[in-house]
């Protein structure tokens, strides 16, 4: 397995990580814990050393499952988790309420340490910016946790450019986790340049466009009511019809290289910067093996230019019906 360094001062991890969100209910089905523990451990055996979870996934149960699965590999893998939400009594207790006050951050860290069963959280991301708490206060709280040995690296997810600079001045930001793929290229509008300047690594989530870039989603696909993709504008029939042109190109390039569309999409991300580490998620071993094969796919300058051009035709907003304050920059 190839390795990459997350930014100038971050940890060295496998070139492809594993996004664990789907290991607990999120995409319309409920996988068995035993199967997911086995799959996460198989990922380790295949060379994956970077795993992503969050307090809000599950909620809470995802950290517990990841902690159990990775308990035999302490010191050999890097686990990232996140803070910044809490149950909202005004929304049926759903985890939609932002809370990044310093006292809350520190309480979340203690709880996450216990659920993960680790002595220190490798990467602790602020899951979304909290308009009620200055970046400096958030960075200061995480900086305290780093001094106490409870956190190793500070991360941010979906911040603004200004927010990154302000936080970084108080406590060095090691890594950002933003959505980034041929499906969503917002980070190219200044964020990649800023990360290069500050020596910060990037972890793209949803690198396969929530399954769309694999070619598995067509006009015949129907999402269950408990699959959150059913509410996303990019998965309407009209959007799928237009966006299929991108998948057709991925299929063409994949066929020429003896690869799969998913591998081409991941290889495109790996080709953007040497400090980018995508975290595709899956609940199936064959998909895990397929994703990891992307590290061996070489795209030519012509391939990259063709993909760049096609990506400009993607239509549909990312989200619908979620609080605008935490959907992410540019929404």
Q: Could you say which of 27, 57, 163, 180 is catalytic?
A: 57
Residue with tokens 């050393």: 49
CB-CB contact of 99 with 81 (8 Å)? no
Catalytic (active site) residue 319? no
Q: What are phi and psi of 287, to 5 degrees?
A: -75, -40
Measure Cα distances from 297 to 20, 211, 268, 310 in Å.
24, 19, 9, 19
Helix 285-292 with 33-45: angle, nearest 10 deg = 30
Give one DSSP letter per residue of 30-82, joined into a string.
Answer: ---HHHHHHHHHHHHHTT--EEE--TTTTTTHHHHHHHHHHGGGTTTSEEEEE
Question: What are the counts of helices (DSSP H) followed by strands (DSSP E) for the chain?
Answer: 10, 11
Question: Which runs of consecutive H residues, i.e. helices, occur in 148-220?
Answer: 161-170, 191-198
**Nearest partner of 206 among 320, 52, 61, judged by Cα:** 52
DSSP class of residue 318?
S
**Nearest partner of 292 among 21, 54, 42, 111, judged by Cα:** 42
CB-CB contact of 83 with 125 (8 Å)? yes
Q: Which long-range contacts (CB under 8 A, 24 or more apart) does 10-15 make?
A: 10/153, 10/174, 10/175, 10/201, 11/78, 11/122, 11/123, 11/152, 11/153, 13/49, 13/50, 13/78, 13/277, 14/47, 14/48, 14/49, 14/50, 14/277, 15/270, 15/277, 15/295
Structure tokens at 16: 């492809």
Beta-sheet pairing, 201-205 with 3-5: unpaired
User: Residues with catalytic annotation?
Assistant: 57
């Amino acid at each position: 397995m190839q390795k990459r360094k997350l930014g100038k001062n971050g940890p060295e991890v496998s070139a492809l990580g594993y996004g664990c969100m789907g290991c607990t209910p999120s995409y319309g089905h409920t996988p068995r814990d035993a199967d997911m523990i086995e799959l996460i451990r198989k990922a380790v055996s295949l060379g994956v050393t970077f795993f992503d979870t969050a307090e809000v996934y599950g909620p809470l149960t995802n950290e517990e499952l990841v902690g159990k699965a990775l308990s035999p590999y302490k010191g050999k893998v890097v686990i990232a988790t996140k803070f910044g939400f809490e149950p909202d009594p005004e929304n049926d207790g759903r985890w939609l309420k932002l809370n990044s006050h310093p006292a809350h951050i520190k309480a979340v860290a203690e709880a996450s340490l216990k659920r993960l069963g680790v002595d220190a959280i490798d990467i602790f991301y602020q899951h979304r910016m909290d308009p009620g708490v200055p970046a400096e206060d958030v960075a200061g709280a995480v900086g305290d946790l780093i001094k106490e040995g409870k956190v190793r690296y500070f991360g941010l997810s979906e911040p603004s450019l200004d927010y990154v600079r302000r936080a970084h001045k108080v406590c060095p930001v090691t890594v950002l986790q933003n959505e980034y793929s041929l499906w969503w290229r917002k980070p190219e509008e200044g964020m990649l340049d800023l990360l290069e300047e500050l020596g910060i690594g990037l972890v793209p989530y949803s690198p396969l466009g929530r399954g769309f870039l694999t070619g598995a989603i067509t006009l015949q696909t129907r999402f269950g009511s408990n699959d959150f993709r059913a509410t996303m504008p990019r998965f309407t029939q009209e959007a799928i019809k237009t966006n299929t042109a991108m998948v057709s190109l991925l299929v063409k390039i994949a066929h020429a290289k003896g690869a799969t569309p998913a591998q081409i999409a991941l290889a495109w991300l790996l080709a953007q910067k040497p400090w980018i580490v995508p975290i595709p998620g899956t609940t199936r071993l064959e998909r895990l093996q397929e994703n990891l094969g992307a590290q061996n796919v070489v795209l030519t300058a012509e391939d990259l230019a063709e993909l760049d051009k096609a990506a400009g035709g993607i239509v549909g907003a990312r989200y619908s019906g979620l609080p605008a304050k935490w959907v992410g920059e540019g929404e």
